[in-house]
Structure 1
């Protein structure tokens, strides 16, 4: 029961910072991560996750962080802290920290907790009901009741977006708000943090505000940076009216049309061949290489940019750069012809039955390979920080098989003949030949020789086991035969001594007649 309840709490916590516009991350992925975290905790840690302590108690009067006092609580496995030292008032004319100062304090606190709690971080939240009020330079709005009085959901969205942006920039992914109570009190107590007394108005303004808060927040609670999603699109249309077009979020940014090939300038070279748009099965290679000198090192908002790091403007620009880049999915469509119904002429994937791309490539493999430039199988070498970055399963799920490890910040495959790829997560083919037969009959897993060797050992051990069992049965049968022979010999000796004479000399009467 405890595990199920805590799983719900954990999912709720990450749900508060979920990116509303990205539903493609499946719920079971969060469940898997939650299960792994929970299973690694003992009872003290699970209880600690249900305790939340005011962060303000760990600061001195001058707002400096008391690490020793905080470490004592970290030893108790406390899982959540809230607010900070500025609720109690200003100090030396300051009413809050800069975003960088917030991140420095929270980063140090996380380091202490991880040291004392087997690497598990804590969850931190703060009140930002009308802006990041304790972050210097942040935008501060009027109280929520004022926002509701505008009856403007778009304004509420903007307020939420800015509050979420500024709070996250200070290293806090969790806002304690909005306050959704329906309040009606003519005495006017402290109800200005609500959206008023009308349920419809409260729900409408709250919905827009929450969407605004979540619009600029990374899915990963520990990430102190912004997350944006872009859709890249490539259209390849063949024929006389064809073109190759690159688009970004639906807007074309570059295009090459068929006439660029077919109507080339002839000049004096009348034999300049007329070209057509390529129309044949082909590979699709997606290259998203990123410069190793991009952004900050390590990639984390608030770190200094490359260079001397003394220009605050440059540092601010650097903080706005993407810290991590990830491909969510690649989807391919195949145009099957305009003569089909509008809802069926597009085929998802690149190998439809009417255009068997894979079959064509398999049958014409020589046209797609170069004997002088053979395939190169990559084995490790991806950047890493821990062993889980270089194995199947990774940080989600557990497996006894570790296909790689992190050595000097680079992945190194443990079973180089069976598992490869930059992160040692790709099952290698049984043969690296580029012949048609090897492509069409590609086998994954351990090499064939190793598989046959293991199979041979299993068969040999099976024969040995059967042989030993047969020997044991024969020995048991021999022992039983010997025992029976000894019994018969003993019986004959009794007869010879006349000890059982009356039985041997019993009359031939039918004894069954003597029983009722």
Structure 2
């Protein structure tokens, strides 16, 4: 469970120690790029550990928000309050001797519930730093004048340069290998199919010839027997054949 500590937002010329990259007044002259500012991002949040039942069932979450001097923000589960922030805790903030903690007002906008799998002590990601009055990106995947544009990274490392996906050279090489393997497999499949087709056709031709030779002999024998029978009938005494 990490408590939210907020982040300091400062102009490039700010020398405040809590800024992300305070300017060193002795080595870096002021650029006067913008009006000076220095404030801390803040949020009203609540951390509450949940048990295993939250992953196996359904629950009703609710935010109760009341504005005004006696208002409050209340997070609830199944109608039971879990955490509450009152207006007094926002308006009457603790102070030190120099009263550096700014006085706040009650939030006058709708609130909502954010469910985080992992919690962090600060918002967002640091994508760059200020070097000689210019932004220098910390990662190859960020670009632009303020290192806020997501781009494909590149470096002088060659084939294994840092990018979102594989290097273009590796992608082309893999594609060529896949094409060659596919062509070889198609050719081998065609040759095997042709051999099988030729063997099947030869077997069918042999069966056809065998069937033709077998059927020819009974036909000739039948014709000769029929001729002998007709010859015998011609020699009969028709005078004795009467009804």
TM-score category (smaller protein): 0.3 to 0.5
Query: More relative contact order in 1 or in 2 (CA 8 Å, sep 6+)?
Result: 2
Structure with bigger helix share is 1
Between Structure 1 and Structure 2, whose CA radius of gyration is higher? 2
Name the TM-score, length of structure 1 as normaliser: 0.22
